[in-house]
Amino acid sequence: MFKRKLKALGYMEWDKVNGNDEQHVKKLVNWLEDQNIRHYKIEDRTNLHNINSNQWQETYDKYLADLGCPSLLSPLEKLEWLVALAVRLEFEDDCEKYKAVLSSKKNEAAPTVKSTNPLDNLDFQCDDFKNGVNSLAKLLTIPQHPNHLMTLEACAKLICKRLNPAAIQYPNSVIVTGKPFPIMETEVGFNMGDKVLTNAAKVLCLLYIQDLRDLQTKINEAIVSVQSITANPKTDTKLGKVGR
């Protein structure tokens, strides 16, 4: 997992490291401390350098604790954490150098693409566009929001729901009929202490119920679609064989 990081750090045997080999781990830990991390003073690294000592594991555990390595990690994860720390410290030592490299690579990897979509060339904040949105809202009898983009979103929702080809062909499917429910005069079980706030809460409650209804409709449609496949399996009789 960390071979590319070791290659970036300049470790000579980056492609031969085995995280499950104790000798490889000891050698790598000492190299990282000497070359990149340098958390201990040189004279304090003696026990870490003594890879043949029976106490080396305890020294290594104390070293990780001093660095702030999480104790719940597995041995391989601790080694990966140590390599990642070395990479971060190497970057911080000369961050301007690496930032320049990243910036040049980013510019090279992002070719200029000229869009042929005329909508991409529109100025959505110009007065002509705002006037066009407001005119469309008046035509659709939609209240205008102070933010013209919100007004445009409302127009788009109405057009998609009420003016799509299916709705135009079968207008009765989208025209609301019946007597309106007097939500503003109905007690819904809560009182905000202010009439305006209470009415706003009632409206939000209705919108929430509508969302739940749409969700239930989609769930029912998904169930019907699955049942149409599982409840009526097709059998290819040509594959049948009678006798020997």
Q: Are residues 81 and 43 in the same domain?
A: yes
Does 133 map to a domain? Answer: yes
Q: Are residues 33 and 95 in the same domain?
A: yes
- Tell me how many domains the chain contains: 3
Q: Are residues 14 and 103 in the same domain?
A: yes
Q: Which helix (H) or strand (E) holds 78?
A: helix 75-93
Q: Are residues 97 and 8 in the same domain?
A: yes
Give the whole-number percent of the chain exceeding pLDDT 90.
12
Among 51, 85, 108, where does a domain finish? 108
Mean pLDDT for the stretch of residues 25-50:
89
The confidence score (pLDDT) of residue 7 equals: 83
The confidence score (pLDDT) of residue 135 equals: 92
How far apart CA 143 and CA 152 sit, in angstroms, is 11
> Residue 70: pLDDT band by 50, 70, 90 thresholds?
confident
Residues 201-217 have pLDDT tens digits of 888 888 888 889 989 99
> Residue 230: pLDDT band by 50, 70, 90 thresholds?
confident
How far apart CA 159 and CA 140 sit, in angstroms, is 9
Q: Are residues 102 and 7 in the same domain?
A: yes
Mean pLDDT for the stretch of residues 87-109:
67
Does 240 map to a domain? Answer: no
Q: Are residues 8 and 104 in the same domain?
A: yes
Residues 33-45 have pLDDT tens digits of 888 888 889 888 9
The confidence score (pLDDT) of residue 155 equals: 92
Q: Are residues 144 and 81 in the same domain?
A: no
Q: Are residues 164 and 193 in the same domain?
A: no
How far apart CA 174 and CA 158 sit, in angstroms, is 11
How far apart CA 212 and CA 180 sit, in angstroms, is 20
Does 241 map to a domain? Answer: no
Residues 6+ apart with CB under 8 A from 149: 124, 133
Mean pLDDT for the stretch of residues 118-123:
76
Mean pLDDT for the stretch of residues 192-196:
83
Q: Are residues 183 and 153 in the same domain?
A: no
Q: Are residues 184 and 169 in the same domain?
A: no
- The amino acid occupying position 133 is V
The confidence score (pLDDT) of residue 220 equals: 92
Q: Are residues 52 and 81 in the same domain?
A: yes
Query: Of 12-26, 175-189, 225-239, which range is least confident?
Result: 225-239
Residue 162 has pLDDT above 80, yes or no: yes
By residue count, the chain amounts to: 244
Does 135 map to a domain? Answer: yes
The confidence score (pLDDT) of residue 216 equals: 93
Q: Are residues 164 and 102 in the same domain?
A: no
User: Which residues span the domain enclosing 95?
Assistant: 3-108
Question: DSSP string covering 139-157, please?
Answer: HTT-PPPSSHHHHHHHHHH
Q: Is the pTM of this model over 0.85?
A: no
Residue 58 has pLDDT above 80, yes or no: yes
